């Protein structure tokens, strides 16, 4: 064991035995210090929680590397201190505070509200759990300077998190995330955290925001005639125990859908997520109850949202009538194809529209955008980067939509984070629109592939927990950076993009050029001469290193779809073997 590290964590932990910490915390820390096995002590204290691509996120418990009232308190006090400097000219600084269904979420949200109010900041606190995108909407709608939502998104139940937003309704990026961390780090003592709230500065909000937000989402509908004709289409929806149950069925009814089938066991709001191992709509197991309900009722599609209702899950029927899970890349593909095509049909394209995707999301989107003469932006992973593109284009060009392969999509510009409330409503509309054209959802997806080329994507995450895991992830990135593959599944690697150095290298000529991105990021990409794309990046919110594999093929006709999948899967398996994952 590293004695120096043990000494450091012991010193940090001993500070948590002071009387400024509550009895429960002191007891937990004391037990860790007295335990012969120091693993838990090291895990809880070897570092401080930091803002990543999704803010602050960690396992709940005592310690500097855990989510608790003190780490949440220090983050809020630091943010409050920074807001008072950044908006010193305003007579009143205002923030929105929301939370999801997780254990301790309401408690943390009330603590956040109290700390802001104790610092003289006006707080709009939601009366109960709400979707993350509604909090983003409320920041803009109420003219606030910042917002915080307590959520760990789709992570397992042991986790909670803290997402901080800026005045445009988007998660913070530089300089504000960096400045906030600086101010948070300056909060070195619990005594500096103003826990004692000022009730006169806290206003409870709820239905008054819900109704306005839902009305704005209803205004996004572009195919009301198709919905009117197919209003009784059977739609299964599950919130997977999360906040989506509050607003998504209402939004679907607002759009005109009359046959929404719920999954009663999963309508229960619970931070224990009792019916699933992980409340993540990417996981087939999380969608199993929704699929079972669809089989029982003969529903056409299954829609789901994650605990904070920013991600969308989608299941459609294939040609054999079997229910199949649609991946995040295909979801973005379906959305952007509809939004671009439908805007063209309605004569709404002026040549000043744009769409956004992340660098790890399918390149097929680029082909559609080029065919429709619509500008496409590539940005980093994390919706704050899509929001950054929106911020830069505000008042100059019209946003049609943006998404990422991790099941997030945004159909509108009055929210600045992924939004399953609007996404699920629009996806149901897409199903009705396809039906009006005599197509099923699978027909529509196959038509996209026939027109723009077939692509198949696979994401693989290597989980490496704790301090040793973090070191292993660094070593893996170093290895790929220093020894890039020359070939992938028999095709030559022709281009390497390293976003840490912002250098794009032509492997054939050795020529390099600078990548035009707002900042650096620890991401590597390899492109082959047959259209394969590999992206590698450590997660900013979880102890994982992620590999994103995309391979291309051409489908001869719709009947070739299954064979194209088989060919692509075999190629992906070869690539995985070559990469050692």
Question: Per residue in 358-414, pLDDT tens?
Answer: 999 999 999 999 999 999 999 999 899 999 999 999 999 999 999 999 999 999 999
Q: Mean pLDDT, to the nearest integer, of 27-55?
A: 86
Residue 14 is predicted with a pLDDT of 95
- Compute the average pLDDT of residues 331-348: 96
**What does each C-alpha distance from 435 to 298, 306, 358 come to in angstroms?**
16, 27, 30
What would the mean pLDDT of 326-340 be, rounded to a whole number? 97
Q: What is the mean pLDDT of residues 65-71?
A: 95
Lowest mean pLDDT among 39-53, 95-109, 271-285, 330-344: 39-53
* Nearby residues of 415 by Cβ (< 8 Å), 6 or more positions away: 133, 136, 137, 140, 169, 422
Domains of the chain and any CATH numbers: 1-46 (no CATH), 49-211 (3.40.120.10), 231-325 (3.40.120.10), 327-418 (3.40.120.10), 455-579 (3.30.310)
Task: Provide mean pLDDT across the span 44-48.
Answer: 90
Taking alpha carbons only, the member of 48, 24, 20, 44 closest to residue 32 is 44
Catalytic residue among 105, 117, 153, 425: 153
pLDDT-based confidence at residue 55 (cuts at 50, 70, 90): low
CA–CA separation, 64 and 42 (whole Å)? 10
Is a pLDDT exceeding 80 seen at residue 11? yes
CA distances from 162 to 67, 100, 209, 264, 393 (A): 9, 11, 21, 29, 28
**Is residue 135 within a helix (H) or strand (E), and if so which, with residue range?**
helix 132-141
User: Which pLDDT score is estimated for 42?
Assistant: 94
| pLDDT(35) > 90 | yes
Q: Is the pLDDT of residue 470 over 70?
A: yes
**DSSP letter at 150?**
E
The percent of residues above 90 in pLDDT, for the chain, comes to 92
Contacts of 24 (CB under 8 A, 6+ apart): none
Transcribe 463-518 into DSSP letters.
E--HHHHHHHHHHHHHHHHHS--SEETTEEEEEEEETTTTEEEETTT--EEE---S
Q: Which pTM value belongs to this model?
A: 0.95
d(CA 531, CA 182): 43
Task: Indicate the range of 51-65, 305-319, 538-552 predicted with least confidence.
Answer: 51-65
Predicted local distance difference test score (pLDDT) of residue 382:
87
Q: What is the pLDDT of residue 385?
A: 95
User: pLDDT band for position 541 (50/70/90)?
Assistant: low
Q: Residues 270-308: pLDDT tens digits?
A: 999 999 999 999 999 999 999 999 999 999 999 999 999
Q: Look at residue 53 and tell me whether its pLDDT is greater than 60.
A: no
Tens-digit pLDDT profile for residues 202-221: 999 999 999 999 999 999 99
Q: Does residue 200 carry a catalytic annotation?
A: no
Phi and psi for 368 in degrees, rounded to 5?
A: -65, -45
- pLDDT, tens digit, for every residue of 246-258? 999 999 999 999 9
Query: What angle (nearest 5°) sits at the alpha carbon of residue 39, between those of residues 38 and 44?
Result: 100
Q: Which residue(s) pair with 125 in the sheet?
A: 97, 204
Query: Is it the case that residue 542 has pLDDT exceeding 80?
Result: no
Sequence-ordered strand ranges (E) for 191-277: 202-205, 235-238, 260-262
Q: For position 54, what pLDDT does the model report?
A: 55
pLDDT digits (tens, 9 = 90+) for 172-194: 988 998 888 889 889 989 999 99
The residue with tokens 């943006």 is 402
Which of 129-133, 176-180, 289-293, 331-335 is predicted with the least confidence, judged by mean pLDDT?
A: 176-180
Between 515 and 465, the higher pLDDT residue: 515
């Amino acid at each position: 064991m590293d004695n120096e590290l043990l000494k450091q964590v012991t010193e940090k932990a001993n500070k948590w035995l002071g009387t400024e910490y509550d009895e429960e915390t002191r007891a937990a820390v004391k037990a860790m210090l007295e335990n012969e096995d120091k693993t838990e002590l090291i895990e809880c204290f070897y570092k401080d929680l930091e803002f990543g691509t999704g803010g602050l996120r960690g396992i709940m418990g005592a310690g500097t590397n855990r989510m608790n009232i003190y780490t949440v308190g220090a983050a809020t006090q630091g943010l409050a201190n920074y807001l008072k400097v950044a908006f010193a000219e305003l007579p009143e600084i205002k923030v929105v505070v929301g939370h999801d269904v997780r254990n301790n979420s309401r408690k943390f949200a009330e603590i956040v509200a109290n700390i802001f109010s104790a610092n003289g900041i006006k707080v709009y606190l939601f009366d109960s759990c709400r979707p993350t995108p509604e909090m983003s909407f409320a920041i803009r709608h109420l003219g606030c300077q910042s917002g915080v939502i307590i959520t760990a998104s789709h992570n397992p139940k042991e986790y909670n998190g803290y997402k901080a937003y800026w005045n445009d309704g988007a998660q913070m990026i530089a300089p504000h995330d960096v400045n906030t961390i600086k101010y948070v780090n300056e909060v070195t003592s619990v005594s500096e955290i103003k826990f004692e709230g000022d009730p006169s500065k806290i206003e409870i909000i709820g239905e008054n925001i819900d109704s306005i937000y839902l009305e704005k989402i209803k205004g996004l509908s572009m195919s009301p005639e198709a919905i009117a004709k197919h209003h009784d289409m059977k739609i299964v929806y599950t919130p997977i125990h999360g906040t989506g149950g509050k607003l998504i069925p209402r939004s679907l009814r607002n759009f005109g859908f009359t046959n929404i089938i719920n999954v009663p066991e999963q309508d229960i709001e619970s931070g224990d997520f009792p019916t699933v191992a992980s409340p993540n709509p990417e996981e087939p197991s999380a969608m199993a109850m929704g699929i079972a309900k669809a089989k029982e009722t003969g529903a056409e599609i299954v829609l789901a949202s994650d605990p904070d209702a920013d991600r969308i899950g989608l299941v459609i029927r294939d040609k054999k009538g079997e229910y199949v899970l649609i991946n995040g890349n295909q979801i973005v593909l379906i959305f952007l194809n509809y939004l671009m095509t439908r805007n063209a049909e309605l004569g709404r394209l002026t040549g000043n529209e744009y769409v956004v995707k992340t660098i790890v999301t399918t390149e097929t989107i680029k082909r559609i955008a080029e065919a429709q003469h619509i500008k496409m932006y590539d940005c980093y992973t994390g919706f704050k980067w899509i929001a950054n593109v929106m911020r830069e284009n505000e008042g100059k060009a019209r946003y049609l939509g943006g998404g990422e392969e991790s099941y997030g999509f945004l159909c509108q510009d009055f929210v600045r984070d992924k939004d399953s409330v609007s996404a699920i409503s629009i996806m149901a509309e897409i199903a009705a629109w396809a039906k009006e054209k005599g197509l099923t959802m699978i027909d529509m997806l196959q038509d996209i592939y026939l027109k723009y080329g077939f692509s198949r994507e696979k994401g693989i995450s290597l989980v490496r927990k704790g301090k040793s895991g973090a070191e292993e992830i660094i070593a893996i990135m170093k290895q790929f950076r220093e020894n890039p593959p020359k070939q992938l599944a028999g095709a030559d690697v022709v281009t390497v993009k390293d976003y840490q150095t912002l250098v794009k290298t032509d492997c054939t000529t050795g020529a390099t050029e600078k990548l035009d991105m707002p900042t650096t990021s620890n991401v590597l990409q390899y492109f082959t001469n047959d259209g394969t794309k590999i992206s590698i990046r450590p997660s900013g919110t979880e102890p994982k290193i992620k590999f994103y594999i995309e391979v291309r093929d051409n489908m001869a006709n719709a009947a070739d779809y299954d064979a194209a999948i088989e060919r692509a899967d075999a190629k992906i398996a070869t690539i995985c073997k070559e990469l050692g994952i």
